[in-house]
Amino acid sequence: MKLWYSPPSPFARKVRAAAIELGIAGRIELVQVAVLPSKPNEELARENPLIKIPALEAEDGTVLYDSRVICEYLDALAGGGRLFPAPGAARWRALRRQALGDGILDAGILRRYELALRPEALRWADWLQGQQAKVSHGLNAAEREAGGWDEAFDIGHITIACALGWLDFRFADADWRATRPRLGAWFARVSARPALAQTVPRA
């Protein structure tokens, strides 16, 4: 299998961490690519028409996207039911957690693009604030739930951890831990897992 990724990408990190958790990372060749919404990568577009990472060439040659589909594929490949619980309440909780982490990232990445790519004179302060509100409320929801998160480590936990790691990487001065002690303590504990320790975002 082949994974198109970049070292800072939190969505690609989800896939890399999932593969390590599942013990199948050795079956995946990593292909580093550059992606920017302001500069479409036409080579990547041949693999993923949405021109985003991650994209995974699966064992049958199909190219899968996005991170949610790829992670569920890897889970199935490793026997199923490990990162994506079987149908039932635990599965809905895991998928909801994944949606929360993905949503925090979607809003955070839109802010990042606005701040890093858009010319300063064209920036839209209300829109930036609207995205920040999604990040903040999302983190508050995670703080309310994090007390019960030590029983398992599913795709939702991986996604939340990747979101927190990316916020630390891109917005290091935004002290999200100050008002979210349970989430901070949980993140410190899970960061020691090889799947997260080996995939810390870097430039």
Ligand X SMILES: N[C@@H](CCC(=O)N[C@@H](CS)C(=O)NCC(=O)O)C(=O)O
**CB of residue 148 to ligand X, shortest distance in Å:** 25
**CB of residue 6 to ligand X, shortest distance in Å:** 7
Give the residue among 23, 5, 121, 33 at the shortest CA–CA distance from 79: 23
Give the residue among 153, 128, 139 at the shortest CA–CA distance from 183: 139
Region from 8-16, 142-150, 185-193, 195-203 binding ligand X, contact rule CB under 6 A:
8-16
Region from 4-12, 73-81, 148-156, 177-185 binding ligand X, contact rule CB under 6 A:
4-12
Looking at beta carbons only, is 9 or 131 nearer to ligand X? 9
Residues 162-181 contacting ligand X, CB under 6 A: none
Query: For tokens 């060439």, what's the residue?
Result: 57
Near ligand X by CB under 6 A: residue from 1, 3, 4, 9: 9
Residues 20-79 contacting ligand X, CB under 6 A: 35, 37, 51-54, 66-68
Residue 81 zone, left/alpha/beta (φ > 0; ψ -120 to 50; rest): left
Query: For tokens 């831990």, what's the residue?
Result: 177
Give the residue among 59, 50, 42 at the shortest CA–CA distance from 3: 59
Tokens of 164: 């927190």
**CB of residue 174 to ligand X, shortest distance in Å:** 18
For residue 159, state whether it binds ligand X (rule: CB under 6 A): no
Looking at beta carbons only, is 37 or 49 nearer to ligand X? 37
Whether 110 contacts 141, CB under 8 Å: no
Interface map 85-124 toward ligand X (x if CB under 6 A)? -----------------x------x---------------
Q: Say how far apart CA 165 and CA 196 lie, in whole Å.
A: 9
Q: Say how far apart CA 21 and CA 158 lie, in whole Å.
A: 10
Looking at beta carbons only, is 118 or 189 nearer to ligand X? 118
For residue 17, state whether it binds ligand X (rule: CB under 6 A): no
Give me the count of residues in the chain: 203
